[in-house]
Structure 1
Amino acid sequence: MRGPLIPPALPGWRTRSQRFDESVLMTLEHVERNLGNELDGLEVGVEEVPPSAPAPWEVGAVPLGRYFPADSAAGLPHRIVVYRRPVVARVEDEVELASLVRDVLVEQIAHMLSRNPEDVDPDYRA
């Protein structure tokens, strides 16, 4: 028998990075439902690892995500990046992964909006 063992329509066909991206998108959709149009223009991305040069405030820890403010002079919108490998390294299963992705995104969005994370998502756990 030749061909794939798992048909492309089944969830097992997706790679780990595709499942991670889906988790980020689902979390973002959840937060957008709570905040409405406050996130218009926000770009969210996923990178494997953070750059080797840490930000000045990132002393002694590997960041799980970063917020980059908008730069109107360069035409760049607000951006949030979630780093896949540091997040995945801290969890044991898909449930913990979804929870940690939610916490990272909520914290970064709260930072962007200058709010408490609990105001962004009532399900946030400190």
Structure 2
Amino acid sequence: MSIPSPRNRRGRGPRGPLLPPGTPRHRSVSQRFDAAVVDAYTQLLDAYPDQLRNLDVAVDTVPRMRLRPDMTVFPEEIAADGPVPLGRVIPAGVNSRGLPTRARIVIFRKPVEQRCVGVGERTELLRHILTQLVAAHLNMDPADIDPRFHD
């Protein structure tokens, strides 16, 4: 009779992750979403490297904006699906300590994920949102950035 090791107390085999930490499937849902945002933004960054050099991209879980309940039309720097913001452009400015901040695009993960069934749909929605927000930042028509763009 063998004595089970502390890691195999009930004889069910070794415990631990099924996939090694370096594999893509090992990433969390939020890490996979972040990678999808980076992939979608990289295409735009490659097309407009000089104009987007000072623009940061961030992901937030949910929108943290104060919106009026009667607001039905959002300004062009907010990408929305009906009354729900999916992303926004925050212009460069000065923070509360008086330090300059860079312009930033923020994508809201939960609202985007709730509107997508699969990875392909998420990729298409992220491309659409980022095209709209980059166009707002550059004061361009989104169709000039991506001819496939439609409202």
For normalisation by structure 2, the TM-score amounts to: 0.75
Q: State the match for 1:90 in structure 2.
A: 115
Aligned residues with identical type, % of pairs: 37
d(CA) in 2 for partners of 1:55 and 1:120? Answer: 31
Higher relative contact order (CA 8 A, sep 6+): 1
d(CA) in 1 for partners of 2:144 and 2:68? Answer: 26
Q: Equivalences for 1:23-102 in 2 at 5 Å?
A: 23-51=36-64, 53-54=66-67, 58-59=71-72, 61-71=83-93, 74-102=99-127
**Unmatched tracts of structure 2, length 5 or more:** 1-13, 73-81
What is the root-mean-square deviation in Å for CA atoms of aligned residues? Answer: 2.1
Q: How big is the shift at 1:11? A: 1.8
**Unmatched tracts of structure 1, length 5 or more:** none
d(CA) in 2 for partners of 1:19 and 1:61? Answer: 26
Bigger share in helix: 1
Q: State the match for 2:35 in structure 1.
A: 22
d(CA) in 2 for partners of 1:105 and 1:55? Answer: 24
For normalisation by structure 1, the TM-score amounts to: 0.89
Matched residue pairs, number?
126
Bigger share in strand: 2
Q: How big is the shift at 1:7? A: 1.4
Larger of the two Rg values belongs to structure: 2
